[in-house]
Amino acid sequence: MAEFKEISPNASYTEQLTNWFENRFPTAFFEYKKHMSEYYAPKNFNFWYFFGSLAMLVLVIQIVTGIFLVMHYKPDAAKAFESVEYIMRDVPWGWLVRYMHSTGASAFFIVVYLHMYRGLIYGSFRKPRELVWIFGCAIFLVLMAEAFMGYLLPWGQMSYWGAQVIINLFSAIPFIGPELSTWIRGDFVVGDATLNRFFSFHVIAVPLVLLGLVVAHLLALHDVGSNNPDGVEIKGPKAPKDAAGHPVDGIPFHPFYTVHDIFGVAVFLMVFSAIIFFAPELGGYFLEYNNFIPADPLKTPPHIAPVWYFTPYYSMLRAITTQMMQALSLILVVAVGWTIVKVRMPSFIKGVLAAIAFAFLWMFGAFGFTGIEALQGIDAKFWGVLVMGGAVIILFFLPWLDHSPVKSIRYRPDWHKWVYAVFVVNFIVLAYLGTQPPSPVGERISQIGTLFYFGFFLLMPWWSRLGQFKPEPDRITFAAH
């Protein structure tokens, strides 16, 4: 048992109250010091570092508003849409809570996408922060599941048919697909059983997993220390330290960065509030107009598309056609041939790679055969689902794909910046195409965009090493502001 700390009887009431709690709950004060007042972060954080704290803020907004929505929502196929209308029209301030939750869902993805992009350009996934990045990617994956399940709950036309389309994609998985999609729905069609299980997962199960991953993400980050725009380690054995052993290039997270983040929070809340009060649907991107119509299983909307933050991956799904797979198989053969010629490896491994390349050419009709669908009964949608899932899973491997000798984009060749810029533009174009009805031109652009997306990552071990790199500084560059 720890000894009680004594305090002067002339101390203020605040100091006496703090001392009383610290004597009875020292663990909380120890963790506060470890993760806040005595956690040293690099002093050169810029605006890109707002988005981590903003993600935490939006998470809190979603949890709090979700609790109030659950008080009035009815997870019943016959009453779900009416209960949402009741919240919007009759519950005092219910419209505000609902719009905060719906806008918060989109805000969450905007903030997370920007947060991940910051990690991408500054090399925050590089050693020793691989696990931090993996936890972050797991958060992104779970967040997608949470958003998808929540999207069904309003039980509007787009909610119903969007869920119908996405769940039906699982039926493309060979052998187990039809049974798996039925198990996910809980019925042969999207109905009351689907709504109930999605509600349970959205409200209880998935948020618990999400919170656990957020805690793991933060703990892993604070164990290895935060990255910075220069990519220079401030806590390494060679990093300069003061007499107390603190990094010279670091400052305590509290109060310096808590005050710093308050500015970012204020700007975010102004934009967030403006959207809620003046454009909560944001032209049909945040809330689709079809979702204000009750779900009708007998009337399919003219164009079914997922909500905007899923549309880049939806574009990739739609881009996969027989021609696309033939092109991908040829690209795979060229890549395998280059690997066999250029890379040293056992003959057995080379033989396996050659067999895989030959199998892909055969399966996709390069030799005049009917292809894998006729040969093995695998639905063509399966390859689209595989590509869509692979677009997210490949992010987990980023720490081992980037072979650049420097971390930060600041010290990479200028043309690397253009590669990252094209990647962002390509992602936005894919997102836009995913909201549009299918067209021949859109399909071709989506195919090019999909090839560039995967090429960006799969070719990264090669292109990330090319060019003239600038020397990294021994200490971070910092100008007071």
* 481 has binding-site annotation: no
* 101 has binding-site annotation: yes
* 222 has binding-site annotation: yes
Rounded CA gap, 291 and 306, in Å? 11
Query: Hey, how many other C-beta atoms are within 10 angstroms of the C-beta on 127?
Result: 10
Rounded CA gap, 247 and 242, in Å? 6
Rounded CA gap, 194 and 179, in Å? 15
Evaluated on CA atoms 470, 471, 476, 477, the torsion sign reads negative
Rounded CA gap, 26 and 357, in Å? 61
**Per this entry, what is the length of the chain?**
481
Label residues 23-56 b or e (16+ Cβ within 10 Å = b).
eeeeeeeeeeeeeeeebbbbbbbeebbbbbbbbe
Q: Known binding site: residues?
A: 101, 115, 202, 217, 222
Q: Known binding site for a ubiquinone: residues?
A: 222
Q: Known binding site for heme b: residues?
A: 101, 115, 202, 217
